[in-house]
Chain A
Amino acid sequence: MATTAPSDRKTAGVGWSRPRLGRAGPELVRYAVLLVFLVVFLLPFLWIWSSALKSSVEIARRPFGLPTEFRWQNLQRAWTVGHFDQYIWNSVIYCAAIVAGVVLLSCLAGYALALLPVPGRDAILVVFLLGLMVPFQSVMVPLYYLLRDIHLLETYWAFIVPGIALRLPFGIFLMRGFFRGLPPELADAARVDGANEWRVFRQVMLPLATPGLSTLVVFQFMFTWNQFLMPLVFVQRDELRPVSLGTMFFFGRYTADRGMIAAGVTIAMLPVVLLYLVLQRRFIEGITAGAMKT
């Protein structure tokens, strides 16, 4: 026994080390690929943030180098001279209104289409989903005239109302998927316990759909914050512009203040980047939700 034991151990040791060595190769490759992707995705951010602290001349001369002196006044000037204080505030108004509108209506419609005996609910869903297939560009011009005729053009509503309408199909699709994933017995239990349909929705089913709800909020916020074409067409007055349009006005016909543009972009992207970092799990859920929960 005493003589065999060490050899057993040795064999066991060899058995252990071989697969570990064998696995190290593919793992190194995996990390190398991930590193390449990390650099590819991170570089534009680092480049724009470093450019935000350079002068236009320095950007032209050493586009990829670190700033020789940190020109914090770029950010300050973008904020005041570039009206980013106003633009940020406008973006907050647009996001709050559009996100609230989409979330409210998507929850109500998604719940009804998922769990209530609505006649023809599958057909209604298809009609909603058709909205996903209509590109904004195809309705842009008639929508412009419509908004003009009802005197909404050049008001906050010119972005808010179509913004809600065009994002509803996605919201309804997402929330319907989440509500369908909830056990219907919970709604039945609440009905028997004495709840009317509104209470069943508000007090029992909606709190359980919180993961879906926060995913929708994050998704919707990022989309609205980054919207460019719709506000460009419908809200042209400077005091109504959202932050996504702000940078455009640092471009002259023949010149461009690149340092200011980079500073403006930095200010515009900060809330979205921060939100993404805090809630990235929800964001990923949002991307996969449609595929997983229907």
Chain B
Amino acid sequence: MARVIFDGVSKIYSGGGQAAVNNLNMEIHDREFLVLVGPSGCGKSTAMRMVAGLEEISEGQIIIGDRVVNDLPPKDRDVAMVFQSYALYPHMTVRDNLAYPLKLRKIPKGEREQRVRKAAQTLDIEQFLDRKPKALSGGQRQRVALGRAIVRDADVFLMDEPLSNLDAKLRVQTRAELIKLHERVQTTIIYVTHDQVEAMTMGDRIAVMSLGVLQQLATPQELYDHPANKFVAGFIGSPSMNFLDVNIEASDGRLYAATPGFKMRVPDEKGRILERYRGQTVTLGVRPEHLVERSRLESHTAPDATIPVQVDVIELLGNEIFVYLQNAGTVLTSRMDPDIKLERGQKIEVAAEPHRLHFFDPQTEEVVA
């Protein structure tokens, strides 16, 4: 069991260009389940491959436990890895696939057999031990790939989008099993995915990356409630957060967020911080599930703290509805209860609780209030 530290780690591929990973600083605690999430090409897999020793580190250092592993080959790092394509050895049986890492570590045959059997029991793949990978289904192969990792008893497990080749139902099921597996084996896990639902449901903490840069490292709830910047705010949550460019205007001693289509009073607690943006444009962000019909807000809302909109499209999903709202050409998405009665073209007023409004600096895109 071990912690993993990225200390100013960068990866620049030969041929120049932008760094695939740029000055990554992060500590993954012992026995933590950390999810690296981000869109394709954000550097999450590269960061993981650097931990495994499959990519050289251009700058900085990676520490596993108490050892700097920069110059250690993969075999000496004591990490186990599950690949997106499973990477099972096609010419070996499941038993040999599981035993291979133990054989390389010169574990005696008796113990090897015992550990293979135990891992197979844990993952319920005992009946497939004498089959070749091609005779297994996608889900079974995925279990064997996991088995090859847990049989090692390694310090750190690395998982590179291990669920992305499974169908939707199996993915949900395996997700839950992975969470239970982590509780059982109590190992540090670094898990790479581009699926924010996987990230939110599995991670103790989530590291959101974009363009090789760590955007935010926090617990799932913190990421959702307090995104550090516009990228994280837009990436986490589905449907994604609504963003509007608004002018901060002062009138009657209060601040207002104004667009050509509406003028909404800024909550007092946000107003104090936004004072320095008076006369400037900022980005207002509000999640679809927080943008509700005015009468449904829990707290009392001032009449000038709402946005007048017209219902454009209604999507019924059974347990909820997505409502697309228009305000002077701007489209806002709202996620509402299915019992609310709305019709296309209907004019309503929507609002959000003050603490659910996020304001971002238009240049840096960092959250300001």
* Contact sample, A vs B, 13 pairs, CB 8 Å cutoff: A183-B85, A183-B87, A185-B85, A186-B89, A188-B74, A188-B83, A189-B81, A189-B89, A192-B53, A193-B101, A193-B104, A196-B75, A208-B90
Whether B53 pairs with A204 at a CB distance below 8 angstroms is no
- Nearest Cβ on chain A to B179's Cβ, whole angstroms: 23
The CA of A188 and the CA of B82, in the complex, are separated in Å by 11
Whether A196 pairs with B73 at a CB distance below 8 angstroms is yes
A26 at the interface (CB under 8 A from B): no
The CA of A143 and the CA of B105, in the complex, are separated in Å by 49
B54 at the interface (CB under 8 A from A): yes
Whether B89 pairs with A195 at a CB distance below 8 angstroms is no
Query: A193-B101, A194-B101, A194-B104 known; A188 and B54 CB under 8 Å?
Result: yes
Number of A-B residue pairs having CB atoms within 8 Å of each other in the complex: 58
Query: A189-B83, A194-B75 known; A204 and B89 CB under 8 Å?
Result: yes
12 other contacts beyond A188-B81, A208-B90, with CB at 8 A cut-off?
A183-B87, A188-B54, A188-B74, A188-B87, A189-B89, A190-B100, A193-B75, A193-B100, A193-B101, A193-B104, A193-B152, A195-B75
B80 at the interface (CB under 8 A from A): yes
Task: State the 10 A-B residue pairs at the shortest beta-carbon distance, nearest first.
Answer: A194-B104, A189-B87, A193-B101, A185-B87, A194-B75, A191-B74, A192-B81, A207-B91, A185-B83, A192-B74
Query: A185-B83, A188-B87 known; A193 and B148 CB under 8 Å?
Result: yes
- Nearest Cβ on chain B to A75's Cβ, whole angstroms: 43
Q: Which of B173-222 contact A (CB under 8 A)?
A: none
Chain B interface residue count, CB cutoff 8 Å, equals 25
Q: Which of A133-192 contact B (CB under 8 A)?
A: 183, 185-186, 188-192
The CA of A193 and the CA of B100, in the complex, are separated in Å by 7
B79 at the interface (CB under 8 A from A): yes
Query: A185-B87, A204-B89 known; A191 and B54 CB under 8 Å?
Result: yes
The CA of A189 and the CA of B104, in the complex, are separated in Å by 13
B282 at the interface (CB under 8 A from A): no
A residues within 8 A CB of B101?
Answer: 193-194
The CA of A207 and the CA of B158, in the complex, are separated in Å by 26
A199 at the interface (CB under 8 A from B): yes
The CA of A95 and the CA of B152, in the complex, are separated in Å by 45
B69 at the interface (CB under 8 A from A): no
Residue of B nearest to A210 (CB): B91
B232 at the interface (CB under 8 A from A): no
B residues within 8 A CB of A185?
Answer: 83-85, 87
B residues within 8 A CB of A188?
Answer: 49, 52, 54, 74, 81, 83, 87
A residues within 8 A CB of B100?
Answer: 190, 193
Whether B54 pairs with A192 at a CB distance below 8 angstroms is yes
The CA of A207 and the CA of B80, in the complex, are separated in Å by 23
A residues within 8 A CB of B88?
Answer: 189
B residues within 8 A CB of A192?
Answer: 52-54, 74-75, 79-81, 158
B residues within 8 A CB of A191?
Answer: 53-54, 73-75
The CA of A195 and the CA of B49, in the complex, are separated in Å by 16
- Nearest Cβ on chain B to A181's Cβ, whole angstroms: 13
Q: Which range contains the number of A residues in contact with the other chain?
A: 10 to 19
- Residues of B near any A CB (own CB < 8 A): 49, 52-54, 73-75, 79-81, 83-85, 87-91, 100-101, 104-105, 148, 152, 158
Residue of A nearest to B74 (CB): A191
The CA of A189 and the CA of B82, in the complex, are separated in Å by 8
The CA of A126 and the CA of B34, in the complex, are separated in Å by 45
The CA of A186 and the CA of B49, in the complex, are separated in Å by 14
Residue of A nearest to B85 (CB): A185
The CA of A15 and the CA of B74, in the complex, are separated in Å by 66
Whether B91 pairs with A208 at a CB distance below 8 angstroms is yes
The CA of A207 and the CA of B92, in the complex, are separated in Å by 10
The CA of A188 and the CA of B83, in the complex, are separated in Å by 9
The CA of A208 and the CA of B89, in the complex, are separated in Å by 9
A residues within 8 A CB of B49?
Answer: 188
B residues within 8 A CB of A199?
Answer: 104
B residues within 8 A CB of A208?
Answer: 90-91
Whether B105 pairs with A186 at a CB distance below 8 angstroms is no
B residues within 8 A CB of A189?
Answer: 81, 83, 87-89, 148
The CA of A243 and the CA of B89, in the complex, are separated in Å by 43
A residues within 8 A CB of B104?
Answer: 193-195, 199
The CA of A48 and the CA of B2, in the complex, are separated in Å by 75
The CA of A199 and the CA of B101, in the complex, are separated in Å by 12
- Nearest Cβ on chain A to B191's Cβ, whole angstroms: 15
Residue of A nearest to B104 (CB): A194
- Nearest Cβ on chain A to B71's Cβ, whole angstroms: 15
Residue of A nearest to B84 (CB): A185
Residue in B73, B100, B152 whose Cβ sees the most chain A Cβ within 10 Å? B100
- Among B83, B84, B105, the residue within 8 A (CB) of A194 is B105
The CA of A192 and the CA of B101, in the complex, are separated in Å by 8
Residue in B75, B85, B104 whose Cβ sees the most chain A Cβ within 10 Å? B75
- Nearest Cβ on chain B to A117's Cβ, whole angstroms: 9
Residue of B nearest to A195 (CB): B104
- Nearest Cβ on chain B to A174's Cβ, whole angstroms: 20
The CA of A189 and the CA of B101, in the complex, are separated in Å by 10
The CA of A183 and the CA of B84, in the complex, are separated in Å by 12
The CA of A185 and the CA of B101, in the complex, are separated in Å by 15
B residues within 8 A CB of A194?
Answer: 74-75, 101, 104-105
Residue of B nearest to A206 (CB): B91
The CA of A264 and the CA of B83, in the complex, are separated in Å by 58
B interface footprint on A19-61 (CB within 8 Å = 1, 0 otherwise): 0000000000000000000000000000000000000000000
A residues within 8 A CB of B89?
Answer: 186, 189-190, 204
Q: Which of A185-243 contact B (CB under 8 A)?
A: 185-186, 188-196, 199, 204, 207-208
Residue of A nearest to B105 (CB): A194
A residues within 8 A CB of B81?
Answer: 188-189, 192
- Nearest Cβ on chain A to B106's Cβ, whole angstroms: 10
